[in-house]
Amino acid sequence: MKKERLGTQSISAYQQYIRRKVGVLLIMVFLTVAAGLASLMAGSASLSLWDVVLAVVGKGTKQASTIVWNVRMPRVAAAIVVGIALAMCGCIMQNVLHNPLASASTLGVSQGASFGAAVSIICLGAGSQVNTGSASAAALTITSPLMVTVCAFAGGLATTAVILGISRIRGNDPTVLVLAGVAISAMFTGGTTLIQYFADDVMVATVVHWTFGNLGRAGWSEITLIGALGLGALLFFLLHRWDYNAMDSGVHTAKSLGVHVDYLIPVSLAVCALISSAAVAFVGCINFIGLIAAHIMRRFVGNDFRFLIPCTALCGAVLLLAADIACRTVVSPTVLPIGALTSFLGGPLFLYLVMRGRRSS
> Which residue range(s) make up the domain with 262?
2-360
Give SS3 for 341: helix
Per-residue pLDDT tens digits for 238-289: 999 999 999 988 888 888 988 998 889 888 988 998 898 888 878 878 888 9
Q: How many CB atoms lie within 10 A of CB 270?
A: 15
Neighbours of 311 (CB within 10 A): 26
Long-range own/partner contacts, residues 140-148 (CB < 8 A, 24 or more apart): 140/202, 140/203, 140/205, 140/206, 144/120, 145/221, 145/222, 145/225, 145/281, 145/282, 147/120, 148/117, 148/120, 148/121, 148/281, 148/282
Contact between 158 and 277 under an 8 Å Cβ cutoff? The reply is no
Contact 119, 198 (CB under 8 A): no
DSSP H helix total and E strand total for the chain: 15, 2
Which pLDDT score, from 0 to 100, does residue 81 have? 96
Contact 288, 105 (CB under 8 A): yes
Query: What CATH number did the domain enclosing 89 receive?
Result: 1.10.3470.10
Give the whole-number percent of the chain exceeding pLDDT 70: 87
- Give residue 175's pLDDT: 67
| Contact present, 109 and 156 (Cβ < 8 Å) | yes
Q: How many domains does the chain have?
A: 1
pTM of the complete model beyond 0.95: no
Residue type, 28: M
Question: Minimum mean pLDDT among 65-79, 80-94, 190-204, 301-315: which range?
Answer: 190-204
Q: What is the pLDDT of residue 345?
A: 77
Question: Per residue in 141-174, pLDDT tens?
Answer: 556 667 777 888 888 888 888 877 887 787 666 6
Give the pLDDT confidence score for residue 6 in this predicted structure. 52
Angle (deg, nearest 10), helices 220-239 and 305-329: 160
The pLDDT value given to residue 210: 62
